[in-house]
Amino acid sequence: MKCRRCGKQAEIELRSHHTAFCRDCFKLYFLRQVKRAIKEQHMFSPRERILVAVSGGKDSLTLWHILLELGYNASGLFVDLKIGGFSEHAREKVEKFAQKRDAKLIIVDLEKEGIPIPKVVKKTGKEPCAICGQVKRYFFNRIAYEQKFHILATGHNLDDETSRLLANLLRWQMSYLVDQGPVLPPAYRLVKKVKPLYRLTEYEIAAYAFINNIDYFAGKCPFSKGATFLRYKHYINQIEYEFPGTKLDFYQGFLKKMKPFLTPFQREETTSSQVCPRCGYPTLAPLCGICRLKEEIEKAG
């Protein structure tokens, strides 16, 4: 197979685009997709300070790598979940990545916060992926706001976005659907959130990380085994394999044809200006979810 752009031997086949590229042309293609996402979705300008939420995995480190390469002012934020045999390896990769590029890295240590994930799961019996997502979201939002970043960027890819979209559509979770999209506008004490890799699949990101020697952590979280979101990824990948191009059509179609009708389903929180009396995080409850969680863990001892 030949590279569509230069005619040299192709190395990466992109079935969904009915095409293939050599390494150099794939890099160009990949960067173009990111630039297009940033531009078309009006994500940010070169003057804005960006906080990249990094887990140590291929998606978030590739995103940080590219933003730095493109000359953006991008710092990293790593939340150390304190999951033994997992978090320490991820943290090491993130620290090395930042050091090598002399980039600013902020670390939140959940041990110091009193809510390491394994302890929370053990004490509360809550579903690990749900609680972990909530805790990470909290610190991403809080640090981005308190440290005066303009933008919070995450490494969500097309597989993440479409599998979540499929799951939300199968159950018509309107309040979740309204929040889906590559850009979430700023709200009271919440900075604007963006997903510059939303046009690219996991496969494409892995290929890009590989050919750019991005040293990421490839381990799987021990809590994610059998997680529901992985099942929907499986289905969306099967469908994409059989009908190439479905993922991008599905997501773009949602943004263009359904999203405009979802405004009535907007949640109240996003427009309220009420805050948690302890930490200042926006919430409609007397205490925010994380301060309540901390209280629960303290009481459990």
Rule CB under 8 A: which residues touch a copy of itself? 169-172, 174, 228, 231, 235, 238-239, 242-243, 246, 249-250, 253-254, 256-258, 261
State in angstroms the smallest separation of the CB of 247 from a copy of itself: 9
Terminal C-alpha separation, the chain: 62
Q: How many CB atoms lie within 10 A of CB 81?
A: 26
Q: Using the minimum distance from each CB to a copy of itself, give the nearer residue, 96 or 231.
A: 231
Task: Classify each residue of 239-275 as buried b or exposed e, where b means 16 or more C-beta atoms within 10 Å of its C-beta.
Answer: ebeeeeebbbebbeebbeeeeeebeeeeeeeeeeeee
Considering the complex, state which of residue 102 and residue 242 has its C-beta at the smaller distance from a copy of itself.
242
Question: Whole-number minimum distance, CB 14 to a copy of itself, in Å?
Answer: 19
Smallest separation, CB 256 to a copy of itself (Å): 8
Closest to a copy of itself by CB, 258 vs 300, is: 258
Beta-carbon contacts of 104 under 8 Å, excluding residues fewer than 6 positions away, are 75, 76, 98
Interatomic CA distance for residues 279 and 285, integer angstroms: 13
Q: How far is CA 125 from the centre of its chain?
A: 25
Residue 165 CB, shortest distance to a copy of itself, in Å, is 9
Among residues 13 and 235, whose Cβ is nearest to a copy of itself?
235
Residue found under tokens 């906080």: 51
What is the Cα–Cα distance from 142 to 220, expressed in whole angstroms?
26
Least distance (Å) between residue 153 CB and a copy of itself: 27
Specify the DSSP class assigned to residue 254. I
Residue 76 three-state SS: strand
Taking the least distance from each CB to a copy of itself, the nearer of 216 and 251 is: 251
Least CB distance to a copy of itself at residue 160 (A): 17
- Which is nearer to a copy of itself, 20 or 165 (by Cβ)? 165
E strands present in 27-119? 49-53, 73-80, 105-109
